[in-house]
Chain A
Amino acid sequence: DVKVTQSSRYLVKRTGEKVFLECVQDMDHENMFWYRQDPGLGLRLIYFSYDVKMKEKGDIPEGYSVSREKKERFSLILESASTNQTSMYLCASKAGGSVFQPQHFGDGTRLSIL
């Protein structure tokens, strides 16, 4: 089974802090994704990466950046946290080579910005 592990289940930070969310997958997947999930809005894509050191903006990249230095690890960075970034953050990974492959998710990090 695919295992996607997010380093923290719950995180509380203060406005203006730089916040790092970490995600690791163990299936040698090429593609990795960061989403945020808010009530009534579904999952919204922040950034994704299709290879080491490669990244592409999703639908809501403002206020975020990402890093993919190794294939198994994809980090989401909140450069200067704001209260409107309080949310559930979900990481996912997907095998490359075919578009007809599902994304597999971690259990999420619930981030609160005070």
Chain B
Amino acid sequence: GESVGLHLPTLSVQEGDNSIINCAYSNSASDYFIWYKQESGKGPQFIIDIRSNMDKRQGQRVTVLLNKTVKHLSLQIAATQPGDSAVYFCAEGGDGSARQLTFGSGTQLTVLP
């Protein structure tokens, strides 16, 4: 899940298992959500997005689930691979501040051999 502390939440999974990364967003007016992946030394990379008129969207090995009732977003990664090790964070937007996003602080995913 998300944290405002100095230490990122961590998630360790075995290679081949499925990963679920969670995000609690803050603004009930947000209607657009994005997941990013950030590898060490690189900038955030777009993974998948979802609009508030949907509750599920699938990409290649990834699925995003949106629960607007409890303001919760999750990213599921199927058959997790070593290359999936990174920090994952969510972003929310579209609440009228159309050009701006609010970012969570992220979760560190480590894939164990």
Contact = CB atoms under 8 A, between A and B. Distances in A.
Interface of A: 4, 31, 33, 39-43, 45, 48, 50, 58, 90, 94, 99-100, 102-108
Contacts of A107: 41-43
A48 B103 CA distance: 15
Interface residues of B, number: 29
B77 interface: no
Interface string B3-15: 1111110000000
The 7 closest A-B pairs by CB, nearest first: A105-B43, A40-B6, A99-B98, A42-B105, A43-B103, A107-B43, A102-B46
Nearest to B106: A42
A48 B97 CA distance: 12
Contacts of A48: 99-100
Given A40-B5, A48-B100, A102-B34, 8 more contacts: A39-B6, A42-B104, A42-B106, A90-B43, A99-B32, A99-B99, A105-B45, A106-B43
Given A40-B105, A107-B43, A94 B99 contact: yes
B103 A108 contact: no
Most chain B Cβ neighbours within 10 Å, of A4, A33, A45, A48: A45
B95 to A, nearest CB: 9
Interface in B59-113: 89, 91, 93-94, 98-101, 103-106
Contacts of A58: 100
A15 to B, nearest CB: 25
B56 interface: no
A45 B4 contact: no
Nearest to B42: A107
Nearest to A48: B99
Contacts of B99: 31, 33, 48, 50, 94, 99
B106 to A, nearest CB: 7
A42 B37 CA distance: 13
A39 B34 CA distance: 20
12 contacts: A4-B43, A40-B3, A40-B7, A42-B105, A42-B106, A43-B103, A58-B100, A99-B32, A102-B49, A104-B46, A105-B36, A105-B43
